[in-house]
């Protein structure tokens, strides 16, 4: 998965309306949210705790939509469907590996964008 950092950068620029401090803050907030998503999703899997996963999914869903992280949103939805129908089994394990791989790529892109500011 390749995040279009130009699109993300443009969205951040539009939202910050030229305010450099806010642009940096917003980018940092996106980065922090993605790191929290990785940490909480992993914790939920480790503990086989559906509530942890539901809470972080609910928390980040607006951010993912707002900044067009569509592949992450779709993957989260797939994970939700797997958990609801099968629970924490082999299919969720496979989903988890795929999701965290995509998430790590996005985190790296956002981190690069953040570092460039």
Give the pLDDT of the chain (117 residues) as one tens digit per residue: 556 778 888 899 999 998 999 999 999 999 999 999 999 999 999 999 999 999 999 999 999 999 989 999 999 999 999 999 999 999 999 999 999 999 999 999 999 999 988
Residues 113, 103, 17: CA angle, nearest 5 degrees: 35
Distances (CA, A) of 116 to 37, 38, 113: 23, 23, 5
Contact predicate 78/92, CB 8 Å:
no
The C-alpha R_g of the chain, in whole angstroms, comes to 15
Predicted structure pTM score: 0.93
Residue by residue, what is the 3-state secondary structure of the chain?
A: CCCCHHHHHHHHHHHHCCCHHHHHHHHHHHHHHHHHHHHHHHHHHHHCCHHHHHHHHHHHHHHHHHCCCHHHHHHHHHHHHHHHHHCCCHHHHHHHHHHHHHHHHHHHHHHHHHHCC
Per-residue pLDDT at 93: 97
Residues 95, 2, 80: CA angle, nearest 5 degrees: 25
């Amino acid at each position: 998965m390749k995040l279009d950092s130009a699109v993300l950068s443009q969205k951040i620029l539009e939202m910050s309306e030229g305010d450099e401090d806010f642009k940096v803050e917003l980018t940092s907030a996106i980065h922090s949210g993605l790191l929290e998503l990785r940490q909480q999703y992993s914790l939920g899997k480790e503990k086989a705790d559906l509530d942890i996963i539901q809470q972080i999914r609910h928390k980040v869903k607006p951010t993912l939509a707002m900044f067009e992280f569509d592949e992450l949103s779709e993957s989260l939805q797939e994970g939700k469907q797997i958990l609801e129908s099968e629970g924490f089994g082999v299919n969720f394990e496979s989903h988890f590996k795929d999701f965290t791989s995509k998430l790590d790529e996005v985190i790296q892109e956002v981190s690069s964008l953040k570092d460039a500011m």
